[in-house]
A and B are shown apart, each in its own frame.
Chain A
């Protein structure tokens, strides 16, 4: 069964540092997404990406965040200057014909 792969599984970073979270989408999917889930809270949408550009973003996705697909395979989420409140699970997802496929997530801990 096809799967979305995320790396790393766990990232610890100091406040103010930049982090890049990586995702390998399912190969023939065209729509990609990032979601986050703060511990104990709902899964929240961050951004969607199609045809090499952002198609939609939420209020959470401010100027500190960026996404790109630099080499046609990896889909990355960059946080330029991490804050304590960025600590969360970050999920990458891709859209199939009818359903979305989610990765296992990256647990980001900002200290």
Chain B
């Protein structure tokens, strides 16, 4: 699986939007971009994934650059509960293989 690069940490104020960037310049055409998050003392949790088009779900939005070498996870209104480590992971389409976690971005949310 190709490598991703994320900032170590970010801060946000409660109820403001948060944009979490991820670079994946070596992404292949069949790699999907997945985002997971890990709340304190919990297991990782799926957030969203996409291939080329921007994606929205109840948790977040995923904006994918046209060349697919970067993506941004968007939390539209951060809450205190969104404080977590966010992982950007590339995964081959249709793969059942393991997820390769990096260090992720630790998001802090201030009230």
Number of interface residues of A (CB under 8 A): 24
- Given contacts A50-B96, A95-B96, whether A42 and B43 have CB atoms under 8 Å apart is no
* Cβ B97 vs Cβ A105 within 8 A: no
Q: How far is the CA of A33 from the CA of B98 in the complex (A)?
A: 7
Contact in complex: B45, A102 (CB < 8 Å)? yes
**What is the interface residue range for chain B against chain A?**
10 to 19
Q: Which residue of B lies closest to A96 (CB)?
A: B46
Chain A residues near B45: list those with CB within 8 A: 102
With both beta carbons as reference points, the residue of chain B lying nearest to A45 in the complex is identified as B98
Q: List B contacts of A102 (CB < 8 A).
A: 43-45
Q: Which residues of chain B from 16 to 69 have any CB-CB distance to chain A below 8 Å in the complex?
A: 34, 36, 38, 42-46, 49
Chain B: residues with CB nearer than 8 A to chain A?
34, 36, 38, 42-46, 49, 87, 96-103
Other 13 A-B pairs with CB < 8 A, given A43-B101, A91-B43:
A33-B98, A35-B101, A42-B102, A43-B38, A43-B44, A43-B87, A44-B101, A45-B98, A48-B97, A48-B98, A55-B96, A56-B98, A100-B36
